[in-house]
Structure formats: C-alpha cells, structure tokens
Amino acid sequence: MQLMDRLRSAFDAILTRWPTALGGQRLRLTFWKNRFAYCGRDVRLGDQLVISGFPAIRIGEGTSIMSGSYLYANEGGHLEIGSHCSFNHNVLLGASGGEIVIGDDVLIGPNTVLRASDHKFSDTEMPIRLQGHRSGKIVIGANVWLAANVVVTSDVTIGAGCVVGAGSVVTRDLPPMAICAGNPAQPIRSRLLQVAVE
C-alpha cells in the first residue's frame, strides 16, 4: 500500500505541474474527479495546486480554482465548496482538523487564507508545535466576495451577500449583506441600504 501511495503522490506531482495551456485542466479533472467525495460538472482546476484529503473534499458544479492554491482536508477535516465559485491564485483553504463550508457563487481573491483549526498553546512548558490543534469551523454564505489577502480565522460565519475588503482579518461573525473591512473586520455599511452602519 505504501508503494501505491508513493506512486500516486509522484503522479499527482507531475499532474499538478502540467500546464493548463497543454490540457492540464482536463487531465487533472479526469484523474482527480473520482478521488474527491464529490466533484461536479465543469469544475476547473488550475496548475500548481496542492490537495490533501481528497475523500473529504466536495466541489460543486462550475467552480474554478486557479493556480497555486491549497486545499487541505486531512486529519479528520471536511471541506465543502459550493457551485459556481471562483477562487483566485494562491488561495489556502485549510480544513484539516476542522471544517470549512463555502456556499454557492462565492468569490475569493488572491492570497486569501481560511484556517479552520488553531494551534493549542496553553501549556507553557511544552513547545506549541507539540500541543496539537483545536478543531473549529468556518461557514461562508452564498454570494460572498472575499477580496485579496483576507484572513478568516476559525469559528467564524460570514453571512450571505457579504463583501469583505482587501487585507481584512475576520475574527468574528459578519452579518449578511454587509460591506466589511479592517483588522478585525467589521461592518461599515449595508449593501441593502447603502448607508453607514452605526
């Protein structure tokens, strides 16, 4: 079994580097589709992807994941991506040891990080790297736009229709249909009323 795992890893390394211009998207989808828990029609997988935990990842129809992105769902994790989502370059979805659920029609800008679990650090006598992780969950509602360089920490829900400005750090829940920004991110106005939120 170890030999098969090593051969599969070597094949994945070749496949992920296969240029999109030379049919890489089609090849990746052909060889990876059945390894996911679910992979819908018309999914586009860019090159230089790093994917770990295929059986715990679900991807809806028409979703596009651009080059250099990372999808992690090992260590008991779960990653669910809705339909018609678009993830820009270098997006990290870290569901290992936790859960990330992303609704339909979500846009995620380049260099964005979602991490569902955190390092434990309560024992001051033990190195943090040896203390393990605390499981968490991130939920992103439908029709959300996370702009470039956003960070979303564990145990956060972002409501449907929310817009999160570039460089924001989301550490607590954000309401639906709000435009949010900052560190920590907070609502600055409503998309419905187009007036400042008090």
Which positions are annotated as active-site residues? Answer: 119
Lowest mean pLDDT among 11-20, 82-91, 114-123, 145-154: 11-20
Strands 118-119 and 133-134: antiparallel
The answer to whether the CB of 51 falls within 8 A of the CB of 71 is yes
Which tokens belong to 56? 């715990």
Section 180-190 average pLDDT: 96
The answer to whether the CB of 145 falls within 8 A of the CB of 130 is no
The predicted pLDDT at position 7 comes to: 79
For residue 170, give the nearest of 149, 189, 156, 190 by alpha carbon: 156
Between CA 101 and CA 139 the distance in angstroms is: 5
Section 12-40 average pLDDT: 84
Domains in the chain and their CATH numbers? 2-190 (2.160.10.10)
pLDDT tens digits along 123-165? 899 999 988 888 999 999 999 999 999 999 999 999 999 999 9
Between CA 198 and CA 190 the distance in angstroms is: 10
Section 93-113 average pLDDT: 97
Q: Is it the case that residue 23 has pLDDT exceeding 80?
A: no
Question: Does this model's pTM top 0.85?
Answer: yes
Residue 33: CB atoms within 10 A of its CB come to 16
For residue 29, give the nearest of 43, 17, 19 by alpha carbon: 43
The predicted pLDDT at position 132 comes to: 83
Q: Give long-range contacts, CB 8 A cutoff, 24+ apart: 16-22.
A: 16/47, 16/48, 16/49, 16/50, 17/47, 17/48, 18/47, 19/47, 20/46, 20/47, 20/67
Section 25-50 average pLDDT: 91
